[in-house]
Every structure is written in structure tokens, then in C-alpha cells.
Amino acid sequence: MKKVVTFGEIMLRLSAPGYQRFIQSTNLNATFGGGEANVAVSLSNYGIPTDYVTRLPENDIAEWCISDLRKYNVGVQNIIRGGDRVGIYYLETGAVARASKVIYDRANSAMADIKPGMIDWEEVFKDAQWFHWTGITPALSQGAADACLEAIKIANKKGITVSTDLNYRKNLWKYGKSASDIMPALVEGCDIILGNEEDAEKVFGIKPEGFDVAHTAGDVDAAEFESVCTQLKKRFPRAKKVIITLRGSINANHNTWGGCLYSDKLYQSKRYDITHIVDRVGGGDSFMGGLIYGLITYPTDDQKALDFAVAASCLKHTIYADYNLVTVAEVENLMKGDGSGRVSR
């Protein structure tokens, strides 16, 4: 089977234990995570060959990170080395009415200092069927944006499917350009576009008419997002499919979760009621990993691909840290309606 290539920054994650606030914590739990790495781990768990591309320095923290990726069978042979540091993010997990908090410490990271020409994309894309990137990468620096565009153009030339998760992060765009300045040229080369209502509005000014997700009390109707999908497809005619994740936030521990996919028509998933969230970081990445697996495995069944993605990401909310460490069988069991959590013997 041909591989899936993902490209972006992986960071050291330092999180306060349990629901503690930073000011209470005497220690922080260390793991690794990053949008595109999280997708690669998901796909590796599902048996899809992966090749994760990033830039890391020559130090022990970077070696620890690479070792962690190898543990999950992620391909690391095209990680390039250079730069001064691994980026860090700090996480304080919210509860009930208190939101989670993320603090980035990733300025001047090895990946932020990447430049076009550093990666041999012709070599990377040998035996590749899919290339995935997210809106986080071009937010890091002009060099990262240019390297990402370089990869997309070569993937397009080779006929490789290109997907993006728009992943708008307002706190990252700090090098003098906005997402609306940079993202359109990159998204023009994409066959699959994933986002949510905030991504579409903040990056492209596209939003569902008369809808405010903040006032839904967790009740999000997929049909209200068909206009967002059709507007994105009109803006980016190369896109064959546009997917919207639908999160209804009742509180920090209780969300509803679903999605819709627009190709020849609008497909809607079932809605999951996630009443006791363990860790929602990486939820969108686990959706993307499930979606890529679904679209590769069920190429003529968009409904089944969507259902797999939603079920996979529902399960991710029960798993600590960034990676979605579930199997195909576990996802399929939930798709069949087995959400009891009964002990498996």
C-alpha cells in the first residue's frame, strides 16, 4: 500500500496534572503532539503506512521525540535536522465552566525556521498516495508557509491527493501576515478540505446564515452548514469534498460531536453525546486521521468514511494526550452502536 505523508511541527507538550491550574502544579506531564503528527499516529494505528516530515534540532529532546514516533510505527526517515529548539506548548485542562488554556512557546523553533528547498519533496513523495497539511504550518513563519506551498505544488504535479485541516489558530499568526493573506494560495491545491465554522469564517469570511455556534447549547444541526460547504467548493473548485466537524459545547467536560461531508450531496453523521471528556486535544486530528483512512478504505462510500471519522474522534475524547490510540476494530464497534464501555474479555 502506498504511504500517507504529513508535514508540520511536533511539540513537547507539558500539561498540568488532572484539572489543576498552572499555579497549583508542582510538576508537569511531558508528552509529544502536533496536528500532522497526530494524524500520522492515527493512520499508523489503522495499518496505513505513514511518513511524517518535519524539522527537528540535533539534541536529546528531538531524539526522544523521534523515538516516541517510532514507537507508534510512524515513518521518520524524512525528518530533517537543524535549528536550535523543539517547540513547546503548555496545557491547563478546563472543567465544567472553566475553559482549557494553551500557552505556546514555539518561537524560533526548528520548524518555524524552515525554508523552501530544505526538503527533497520529489524523494519524499515516492510511493505516496496522499499528502496532508494543516493551517498551523503556514501560521508559523513565511518560510514554513513557502515550504508547505512547495510541497502542495509538487504533490499536485504528481497526482497525489492533497488534504488540509484549516485549523485556524489566532495566537500563531504573528509574522506580519494574516491567515486570509496566506491560506487561499495553499488551499487552492487541495482535494479535501476539513474545517469547522470558526475556520471558515476567520480565514475566508464564510459562515452559515443566521447561526452562532456559541448559542446552541450543544445542539448543532448539520444541515445549517451545507451553505458553508458549497461556498468553500465554489471558492476552491479543485476540492472534491468539504467536511465540517460539528462540536456542540455544553461545558468543558460535556460536548456533542458529529460531522457532515459534502461531495455530490450532503452526508451527515450520527451525533455522539460525550458526557465525560478525558482529553479533547487532538480531537480534530483524530477526525482527520479517521477520514483519510475512511476515504482510502471505502473510496465509493462517503457516508461510511464520514461515520468512521466521527466514531474515531469520539473515542479520542476518552484518551489522554494528543494521539488517538485506538484500533480499526474499536472504531467499527462504536459505529455499530456499541458504546457501552463494557469490559472486553
Domain ranges of the chain: 3-335
Sorting pLDDT into bands at 50, 70 and 90, what band is 313? Answer: very high
Tell me the fold of 3-335.
UDP-N-acetylmuramoyl-L-alanine:D-glutamate ligase (3.40.1190)
CB atoms under 10 Å from CB of 345, counted, come to 3
Indicate whether this model's pTM tops 0.85.
yes
pLDDT higher than 90, residue 86: yes
Mean pLDDT of 46-75: 98
Mean pLDDT of 104-126: 97
CB atoms under 10 Å from CB of 186, counted, come to 20
Mean pLDDT of 36-42: 98
Query: Distance between CA atoms of 308 and 187, rounded to whole angstroms?
Result: 24
3-state secondary structure at position 220: coil
pLDDT confidence of residue 342: 67
Mean pLDDT of the chain: 94
Mean pLDDT of 287-314: 98
3-state secondary structure at position 182: helix
